[in-house]
């Protein structure tokens, strides 16, 4: 496997960062998870824009322009002869000393990995997930904005650990007010009386690229959609539920906290959304 690392395409065994890199020492950096479908990088420009916004929010200077980022991302896929892949693009603060001060890091580091990913077995796309609500709450947006896709993922990791302890593959995370924010790695949508509803970013939800695609798909399908405050109760009594993310794509949920959602099977609107998403991934984006 070839990995882009600070201007070079190197073998996987040679792709190394310093132990003094602040991305490792403090989680100081930003990243994007991007998908390649049939030689088409889905919504690459939107991902790169979000990466730039995340970097700007933490005062991290991007080492490459948008055009350069596009080229190295595409070239990493070409170097590995991939047509379908998961791409991880990471920008760290770079090498510094053992103090927190980011201004002592000489220059940021950037790397791009293009490989495979399978977050959930196919049976769960066919039959739906059974998920739980975990005790760990999402960090208040006033403390760490969820709109910044940073390397600080310990909050999500704790939620993922708790989900596994409860025997689930994914979990709902509430904010400090008790409203649904998102899952540990995915955005959440419900269908209620023919309407799609999802938590707002102000409640701690990441402004996911796939999440944004669902808004476009809803318009295409003439399905009403809105953001709203959502509690566990709203999911328990929903007609349908599904999760979205670059890794997960669109996956149905049929049970939360032991309560069956709707009929207990993936619903018709979820199926229509998934079919529309599958059509879009091959045409919306950047050809490698």
**Burial of residue 111, with CB atoms counted within 10 A of its CB: 0-12 exposed, 13-18 middle, 19 or more buried:** buried
> CA triplet 67, 68, 73: central angle to 5 degrees?
100
Rg (CA), the chain: 19
Q: How far is CA 230 from the centre of its chain?
A: 20
Determine the Cα–Cα distance for residues 138 and 186; give it in Å rounded to an integer: 13
Of the candidates 101, 93, 184, the residue with the CA atom closest to the CA atom of residue 139: 184
Catalytic residues: 149
Polymer length of the chain: 288
Report CA-CA distances (Å) from 252 to 69, 123, 129, 188, 280. Answer: 33, 11, 6, 10, 19
Pairing of strands 180-183, 249-256: unpaired
Q: Are 209 and 46 in contact (CB under 8 A)?
A: yes
Angle at the Cα of 96 from the Cα atoms of 90 and 100, rounded to 5 degrees? 90
């Amino acid at each position: 496997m070839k990995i882009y690392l600070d201007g070079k395409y190197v073998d996987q065994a040679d792709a190394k960062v310093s132990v003094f890199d602040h991305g490792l020492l403090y989680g100081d950096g930003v990243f994007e998870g991007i998908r390649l479908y049939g030689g088409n990088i889905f919504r690459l420009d939107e991902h790169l824009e979000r990466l730039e916004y995340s970097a700007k929010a933490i005062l991290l200077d991007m080492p490459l322009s948008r055009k350069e980022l596009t080229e190295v991302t595409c070239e990493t896929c070409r170097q590995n002869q991939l047509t379908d892949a998961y791409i991880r693009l990471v920008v760290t603060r770079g090498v510094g000393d053992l103090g927190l001060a980011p201004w002592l890091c000489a220059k940021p580091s950037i790397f791009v990995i293009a490989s495979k990913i399978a977050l959930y077995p196919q049976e769960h796309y066919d039959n739906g997930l059974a998920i739980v609500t975990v005790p760990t709450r999402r960090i208040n947006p006033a403390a760490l904005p969820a709109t910044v896709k940073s390397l600080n993922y310990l909050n999500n990791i704790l939620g993922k650990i708790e989900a596994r302890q409860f025997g689930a593959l994914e979990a709902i995370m509430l904010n400090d007010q008790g409203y649904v924010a998102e899952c540990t790695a995915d955005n959440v949508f419900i269908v209620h009386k023919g309407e799609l509803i999802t938590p707002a970013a102000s409640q701690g939800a990441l402004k996911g690229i796939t999440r944004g695609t669902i808004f476009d798909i809803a318009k295409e399908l003439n399905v009403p959609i809105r953001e709203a405050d959502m509690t566990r109760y709203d999911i328990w009594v929903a007609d349908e539920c599904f999760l979205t993310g670059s890794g997960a794509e669109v996956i149905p949920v049929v049970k939360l906290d032991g309560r069956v959602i709707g009929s207990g099977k993936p619903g018709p609107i979820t199926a229509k959304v998934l079919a529309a998403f599958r059509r879009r991934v091959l045409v919306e984006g950047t050809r490698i």
